[in-house]
Amino acid sequence: MINTKLLQDSYTYFETELGLLAYTYGKQARYNDEKMVCSIVGYFTKKPTNRLQTATGRFIEKLMYEGNEGNLDFDEHLVSLPKSIKKQLKRYTLVDQNSGERLLIIPVQDVVKVYSPRESLREIVNESSKIDSKRRKAILKLITLLQRYNIKIGDLGLYGSLQIGVANKSDKVDIDLLIFGIENYSKLQILTEQQNYKLNVDSKYKSIREFLPWKKARQCRDSCSKIFIDEKSHADIKIVRKQNDPISFDFQNLELERESFAAKGVVLDSNQGLSTPSVFKVQIAEQIYTVGTRIYVYIGAAKEGNTVVIKGRKIKGKNAILVANAKDNFIYPIY
């Protein structure tokens, strides 16, 4: 019996009964009590794959799919997907009647295994056999660095390949880390600036500086805080809301305007910008709007004072905009 409470955290990976591997967007972006808004990251297969093999010998075929029609990776893989996977994706994809979003919705009852971010980190810290010594050393060094900025080890977790036990054969040390609690956002900002300045690197080297078409923009998105641990290793860090953290955007009851809305504005508040779902306060002309998005959409470099370009749909009767899960919706900084 799985612990369904774990599925209320963003970036909790899980496996479905038919072998899909996905992660949740968290409690604040749940579709309802029984169904979750998710992203697919792959599926388990018996065939050897180029990169993704777990320490237990299972193979994972990588596939990024969030439900939207414009997902490039899904379009490319569609023809070669096994029939059982195509059938599952079709079954789980639906259009929200209120927002018009095309979402991937998975019932909680279909989940057979949960990969907890916190538990994954705890196992690596306590058991040296869980990971190679080079990566374990980098993780321990990163934890020590975070603790100096009063970020508690209990608020940390792993996501991505380390979370699900994928054996990484690369010489590059790249750690994907979660920090739970939006109260840690300002601490992470200070740490990133000071640590990267110390190592003489620019933490925003992937920032989008000019208009980019959808395909190129997806490849260049920078949706996390990049911290360089030393000259040979770095961490991509995301802030994740705790289950009781507030959110200033209602993702559950959306009544949207029919026409899309595009504008340029200035970010006034990005304290919820590195969380999933993400929320910004943006001034457009004389109005202040709340901008929300369920997923990361080129937002990691959008900080207070940045000028951003936004395309989404307005919420009826409110100064709010949804950057929907669609190929032509975005929020990203231009300078």
> Residues 133, 235: one domain?
yes
Coil, strand or helix: which one is 224? coil
The torsion angles phi and psi of 260, rounded to 5 degrees, stand at -70, 160
Beta strands in 74-202 (DSSP E): 93-95, 102-107, 111-115, 156-158, 173-180
147-151, 171-175, 250-254: which is most confident? 147-151
**Residue 255 in domain:** no
Q: Give the per-residue pLDDT at 289.
A: 97
Tell me the whole-structure pTM to 2 decimals: 0.80
C-alpha 103/C-alpha 158 separation (Å) is 25
**225-230 and 233-240 beta bridge pairing:** antiparallel
> Residues 100, 141: one domain?
no
Which range (82-96, 196-210, 302-316) has the least confidence? Answer: 196-210
**Residue 248 in domain:** no
**Residue 250 in domain:** no
pLDDT in tens, 76-128: 556 677 888 888 888 888 877 766 777 888 999 999 999 999 999 999 898 87
> Residues 97, 124: one domain?
no
Spatial CB neighbours of 1, under 8 Å, sequence gap ≥ 6: none
Q: Give the per-residue pLDDT at 298.
A: 46
Coil, strand or helix: which one is 57? coil
Q: Give the per-residue pLDDT at 199.
A: 60
Residue 20 in this model has a pLDDT that exceeds 60: yes
**Residue 246 in domain:** no
Spatial CB neighbours of 300, under 8 Å, sequence gap ≥ 6: 207, 221, 222, 223, 224, 225, 273, 274
Confidence category of residue 217, pLDDT binned at 50, 70, 90:
very low
The torsion angles phi and psi of 240, rounded to 5 degrees, stand at -120, 135
Dump the DSSP string for 251-275: SSS--B-SS-EEEEEEEEEEEETTS
Closest CA to 22 of 124, 103, 126, 127: 103
> Residues 205, 95: one domain?
no
Dump the DSSP string for 175-220: EEEEEE-GGGHHHHHHHHHHHHHHTT--TTTT---S---HHHHHHH
> Residues 201, 281: one domain?
no
H-helix or E-strand spanning residue 239: strand 233-240
> Residues 138, 110: one domain?
no
> Residues 106, 123: one domain?
no
> Residues 108, 131: one domain?
no
16-25, 242-251, 299-308: which is most confident? 16-25
pLDDT in tens, 34-43: 888 888 888 8
How do the residues of the chain divide into helix, strand and coil, expressed in percent and rounded to 5?
Answer: 25, 35, 40
> Residues 105, 133: one domain?
no
Q: Give the per-residue pLDDT at 224.
A: 65
Tell me the sheet residues that pair with 20. Answer: 43
> Residues 85, 161: one domain?
no
Residue 334 in this model has a pLDDT that exceeds 60: yes
> Residues 59, 130: one domain?
no
> Residues 168, 87: one domain?
no
C-alpha 5/C-alpha 15 separation (Å) is 15
Q: Which of 90, 114, 138 is the last residue of a domain?
A: 114
Q: Which of 63, 85, 114 is the last residue of a domain?
A: 114
Residue 195 in this model has a pLDDT that exceeds 70: yes
Q: Which of 114, 144, 174 is the last residue of a domain?
A: 114
Confidence category of residue 6, pLDDT binned at 50, 70, 90:
confident
**Residue 251 in domain:** no
Burial of 62 (0-12, 13-18, 19+ CB in 10 A): middle
What CATH number has the domain bearing residue 164?
Answer: 3.30.460
Residue 140 in this model has a pLDDT that exceeds 90: yes
Domain encompassing residue 39: 4-114
Which range (57-61, 220-224, 316-320) has the least confidence? Answer: 220-224
Spatial CB neighbours of 140, under 8 Å, sequence gap ≥ 6: 125
Residue 316 in this model has a pLDDT that exceeds 60: yes
**Residue 142 in domain:** yes
Of all residues in the chain, what percent carry a pLDDT higher than 70?
80
Confidence category of residue 236, pLDDT binned at 50, 70, 90:
confident
Closest CA to 164 of 40, 63, 53: 53
Residue 192 in this model has a pLDDT that exceeds 90: no
**Residue 306 in domain:** yes
Provide the token pair at 5: 């409470």
Q: Give the per-residue pLDDT at 290.
A: 95
Domains: count for the chain: 3
